[in-house]
Structure 1
């Protein structure tokens, strides 16, 4: 594990307003391997907060405060240089690439022996031998596993989760919670989870920030 992956993600005096109305105020520090959950009704600013941290907040919003990873000011960096990994409701796999192609897309250019890295990642989530499969032929759970491993192979320094389990059935949701939170904890990645589901927050095991 590289040192960058073991730094805390800090949101200090973060305030986001829209048309003069304050949506949220957040002060929190997310330790390496910790998952902090953000909960609140629709329109309370949950996904807006993730967009601010990730670097793609719409200019219609007025956002202030500090976002740091370790001592580095993330707001001074463009989105692609922040080292933030994102996992959404949909796996968002590239339909024109094989499973292996999707995973290789996540790998940094300097990583040696990409074939072995991909094979190990698939084996880790019970998908050994799936390299040449078309993502369209995978089940929802299998697609979610590929999306998770693509995220981890990209070597993020922190992770944002936007309702990643909401479209899975109950049994699969429990399975994916255990897999995702286990992998992120093992990788030592500070993680911010947005969810409507109290069971998601309970499974994450960290503090909960209630909005709105």
Structure 2
């Protein structure tokens, strides 16, 4: 489903290199200190940044040099990136057609996704008229209408209060299960990571220092947990 082989990217003085294999339907938490390369990893997969060397395979196809629009991925950021002058329906519709000229099938798809994220009553409103949680639901819906098999999340819920964050995590679990999505989520919240993903990557200085069970890392039973500021039981 997703394979990175010696994917290399230089950021200022830091040389980042990633080797990674992810199966279809896996959920991966991406953890690590600030500036370690977590967001860069997602941007390389999405095509927003270009690797100097190495290869990137998505769905069995080589996407090392393809444009973001050609890649079978959708990406959700901490900033929901909704257009303030467009209604919620129009913002979501942009995921289907940049000119908002939707055919009947696309309109049906939009309504199905809107129902799934419980935003039916919000469609005619502007983003400013919605709560923070509703805006993130709308941004997630815009990702989902594209119906891509890989979903990339870059700290999408960190600005939400605990109740809203929990609400979004419940929705995300439901959506991933129903659609069998492959998920990679950057997070600084270890509880969120353990809840949403069985597997975790710990990124340090542009390299993967840990690739294993999330619960094992969060429990502090491996030495790498110390990188996250946790007390460890490892000898």
TM-score bracket, normalised by the shorter chain, equals 0.7 to 0.9
Asked whether the equivalents of residues 34 and 185 of structure 1 are also in contact (C-alpha less than 8 Å), the reply is no
Q: Report the CA distance between 1:144 and its aligned residue.
A: 0.8
Q: In 2 relative to 1, CA 99–19 (structure 1 residues): closer, same or farther, beyond 3 Å?
A: closer
Residue aligning to 2:14: 21
Alpha-carbon displacement from aligned partner over 1:41-63 (angstroms, at most 9, x marks no partner):
111111111111111227xxx64
Q: Which residue of 1 aligns with 2:31?
A: 39
Residues 14-48 of structure 1: CA distance to partner in whole angstroms, max 9, x if unpaired? Answer: 3333345334x332222222211111111111111
**Aligned residue-pair number:** 201
Structure 2 CA distance, aligned partners of 1:114 and 1:134? Answer: 21
TM-score (norm 1): 0.85
**CA RMSD between the two structures:** 2.1
Match of 1:79 in 2: 68
Larger deviation, residues 123-132 vs 137-146: 123-132
Unaligned runs of 5+ in 1: 1-7
Of structures 1 and 2, the larger Rg is shown by 2
Structure 2 SS opposite 1:12: strand
Higher relative contact order (CA 8 A, sep 6+): 1
Provide runs of 4+ in structure 1 moved above 4 Å.
108-111
Deviations 1:142-181 (A, max 9, x none): 1111111111001223121100110010111111112123
Q: In structure 2, do the counterparts of structure 1 residues 30 and 112 end up closer, same or farther at CA, with 3 Å as the change threshold?
A: farther
What's the TM-score once normalised by structure 2's chain length?
0.77
